[in-house]
Chain A
Amino acid sequence: MRRRDFIRTTALVSGAFMVPAFLKPLEAMAMSGLTGYKNLVIIQLSGGNDGLNTIVPYCNDIYFQKRNTIAIKETDVIPLDDMQAFNPNLSALKEIYDQGYMSIINSVGYPNPDRSHFRSMDIWQTASDSNQFLTNGWIGRYLDANCQNIKNPYTAIEVDDTLSLAMKGAKMKAIAVQDPYKLFQTTREPFFKDLVHSQNSEHLNEDNLGYLYKTMIETYSSADYIQNTSKTYKTSAVYPATQFANQLKTVSKFINSGLQTRVYYVSLSGFDTHVGQQGQQGRQLKIYGDAVAAFIKDLKQTNKLDDTLVMTFSEFGRRVEQNASNGTDHGTANNIMLYGGKLKKAGIYNPPPDLSTLDNGDLKYQIDFRDVYATVLDKWLNVDNSLVLNKNFAGLQFI
């Protein structure tokens, strides 16, 4: 029956394996020093979110001139100060903002910006220069830099089916978990259990076969740890019924159940608004704002907000001038939105983008995104940023 089970198993899910006890030292080491465990939650808005219609420069004439059909009306915006305002679809975040749990950094980018989605995403995920090709991501390199202490893939979790480049290091990789229960279930796969159960250390050589078995065993260990640590926690907070909100709910469950995970990664796509931007971006921003507001309130309720920093980025902003199809094309600098209970400078961090001095119709960046990363690495994840970013960045003062 057992073997037949295997080939008749029809569902293909992310999953893991059984391993014998002597290969399971990882869980035993966990569960200490849980208090004060700081989490970073990275939210990626894919497609190039239009920052100018997200955090609206509602008192700037140039904005209205360049976007005569898609500018957010002054009467619709939710003012944050006398220069910038929320898109109305972010209304749920206003309360969070007013409580001092949100910070907005304007004009973040990098020199010689690339307007191709995949290249620019690559640059943001690997933290490379724009003419440099790195094969591992910045969170992956953070894992590498700590690999003396960090041995578990679940130190960084992407709530998704596949793992982003940002999460892959040269030595260490994070783990992708869409659904911890499904992941755990496949550890009951009899054939894989057989296969791994009778492995011995001869397989854990430094060669590629050893690497494959090592990955299997780590996947097993992590699946077991994640499921068993998080299964009893019940989220009481109410989240919107969207997939994105569900992913943040999963992150909350992980954080609140005390998973020893330092970095979480979640993505929301649909921001490449070349056509009919207002409707499309509005829907996506509402999904984003409602979910993040629920998430922040949840963490506040469970006293985890002080230990959590949320960072939202997109691979680029969009051109200042709209196009002929009531949309916007690929641009450059953009804003980064941060949330947390321990923000040093809540509110708007730096001056709004300068719409009068453009570079070929695009915003000029004022802050290198790697200075944002450096701040997070140095002050939140406690690792020297030059170990991860390959050179030292001065960093900022938002935490």
Chain B
Amino acid sequence: MKDIKQIKHLFARAGFGMRFEDLRKYKNTSIHKAVKELFENSDNDDPIAVVTQPVDDMMLAKADADTKKKFFQMEREQEKNLNIGWITKMSTTDAILREKMTLFWSNHFSCRDGKAVYIQQLNNIQRANALGNFRTLLIQVSQSPAMLLFLNNQQNHKGHPNENFARELMELFTIGRGNYTEQDVKESARAFTGWGFDKDGTFKMRPFLHDTGVKTFMGKTGNFQGEDIIDIILSKKQTAHFISTKLYKYLVNETPDNTHINAMTDVLFNANYEIKPLLEFVFTADWFYDDKNTGNLIKSPVDFIVGLNRQFYVTYQKPDVLLLFQRALGQELFYPPNVAGWPGGRNWIDSSSLMYRLKIASTVLDQGLIDFTGKTDPEDEAFLATVRNQQHVVNTHVQADPDWDKFFSDIPKDMSKVEIAQFLLEPPLNGTVQNTVNEDNDLKIMVVELVSTPEYQLY
């Protein structure tokens, strides 16, 4: 079992936490074999197919109040189902690394526009390419209707370039601030003119809207198309560095370590932006398992909720409560604060969000009530304005069913209470938690208490 601490760390960072079930499977496995299996288990890239029919908004402008109200309701229903669909997938899948990386890419390529069917399509692109090639991922994301709409490329026309996409492409998606000029933004925006999609949501290059003139971009001159611009950006090693830094902060430590990040940059760049070799490099690096890199990241709300669901095999009689949790904790999937995504880290924690975290675990595991009104998301205002009574239900029964039998039966018989506690929490047990553990005679109570600690918020 000497590697178990390391494998637990691997499951925490490359997935959503290790379960006792996994402990049984992996207790005699080497790190290298465990990493290999993580990838094998993530071969499956089944898309989410919750939203099947786009809501038809063609007639919306002329619709009467009732039709509009129905439209907003249907749209909300679809968005809700998509959200719950993804949370459920993350909570139940064996392809944990793929979902963890899909979560990373969905925040890297932050988007919150368009219809649910487009958002689902974008999410599936991020899933299909989560462990694939960054160039392919970038191009497919950039050409998806959701992103074309969100960053106004659909309105980027010859003679009237819209620079929104070109700017965010460089600032947030690839190379980062300080590595391009305003002129580069202007010139590259011209290269993306004409990018759009048809009524079926398929990418279309519309030649009549495309600026075929000569562009000068990052020191190169030519009759560039959008793809050429992307290739020029990717030819700069700084892009590999930018992506590596962001991944390092997501998987390893919020404080960048240049030596490690430079090594990652080399791997990514030399592998022509293949993501898998980079991840393998990180997960098998000695430094990944250093003490200073374990138990020190604050779980995102989604990591927290999904981790809890997985550890206790929770099913929800009313899955809507999952949305309530996300709102209370400050991360609603598909509703990032802006195109830069959630900033993460300590930004997740304030007095109220911490309190909700400490209490949600016990409401899920012990049939509690959640008392939360919360703010409406700005995007829901249009819907709200059509509903007279805006008071939400204040007390909601969580109605969740953890599978305690399975949870307990998977705990190895020879494990002591202290060992069980140390397995559930990533940071080392301090004296107080040790005392709590020693005083508790009921294992279930002990477990509920452990997942209600500040320590449980870290991984």
- A contact residues vs B (CB 8 Å cutoff): 3-4, 6-16, 46-48, 116-119, 121-122, 131, 133, 135, 153, 160-165, 168, 173-176, 178, 182, 186, 191-192, 194-195, 198-199, 202-203, 207-209, 211-213, 215-216, 218-219, 222, 243, 267, 269-276, 280, 283, 315, 323-326
Contact = CB atoms under 8 A, between A and B. Distances in A.
Contacts of B353: 162-163
Given A162-B374, A219-B351, 14 more contacts: A3-B449, A7-B362, A10-B363, A12-B371, A117-B379, A160-B375, A198-B432, A203-B430, A207-B296, A208-B296, A267-B375, A269-B375, A272-B382, A324-B61
A388 to B, nearest CB: 18
Nearest to A136: B347
Interface string B250-288: 000000000000000000000000000000000000000
Given A162-B330, A215-B354, A208 B297 contact: yes
Interface stretch (B10-18, B44-52, B225-233, B338-346): B338-346
A47 B351 contact: no
Contact of A3 (B355, B390, B440): B440
Contacts, number: 204
Given A162-B328, A175-B350, A118 B355 contact: no
A12 B372 contact: yes
Nearest to B64: A325
B356 A163 contact: no
B351 A176 contact: yes
Among A174, A222, A280, max chain B CB count under 10 A is at: A280
A6 B366 CA distance: 10
B366 A122 contact: no
Contacts of B362: 6-7, 9
Given A168-B347, A275-B69, A178 B373 contact: yes
B384 to A, nearest CB: 5
21 contacts: A8-B366, A10-B367, A11-B395, A46-B375, A46-B381, A47-B384, A133-B339, A135-B340, A168-B347, A175-B351, A191-B449, A209-B427, A209-B454, A211-B346, A213-B454, A272-B382, A274-B68, A274-B382, A324-B61, A325-B65, A325-B68
In the A-B complex, the 10 residue pairs with the smallest Cβ-Cβ separation, listed nearest first, are: A47-B381, A272-B381, A117-B378, A212-B454, A133-B340, A135-B343, A219-B351, A176-B352, A272-B382, A173-B350
A323 B382 CA distance: 14
Contacts of A325: 62-65, 68
Nearest to B345: A208
Nearest to A269: B376
B58 interface: no
Contacts of B369: 10-12
A12 to B, nearest CB: 5
A283 B388 CA distance: 9
A173 to B, nearest CB: 4
Interface string B386-402: 10101100010000000
Nearest to A116: B113
A312 B271 CA distance: 54
A157 B210 CA distance: 52
B349 interface: yes
A207 B454 CA distance: 12
A140 B374 CA distance: 20
B173 to A, nearest CB: 13
A275 B436 CA distance: 57
B455 interface: yes
A360 to B, nearest CB: 13
A280 B389 CA distance: 11
A323 B378 CA distance: 20
B123 interface: no
Given A46-B376, A47-B381, A117-B378, A7 B454 contact: no
A215 B351 contact: yes
Interface string B56-87: 00000111110011000000000000000000
Contact of B349 (A164, A212, A267, A326): A212
A267 B289 CA distance: 45
A161 B337 CA distance: 18
B431 interface: yes
Contacts of A6: 362, 445, 448-449, 452
A202 to B, nearest CB: 7
A273 B65 CA distance: 11
Contacts of A207: 296
Contacts of B355: 13-16, 186, 219
A47 B378 contact: yes
Contacts of A267: 375
B112 interface: yes
A124 to B, nearest CB: 11
B354 A269 contact: no
A16 B358 CA distance: 10
B351 A315 contact: no
A9 B458 CA distance: 24
A11 B371 contact: yes
Contacts of A122: 337-338
Contact of A194 (B297, B338, B436): B436
Nearest to A168: B350
A241 to B, nearest CB: 12
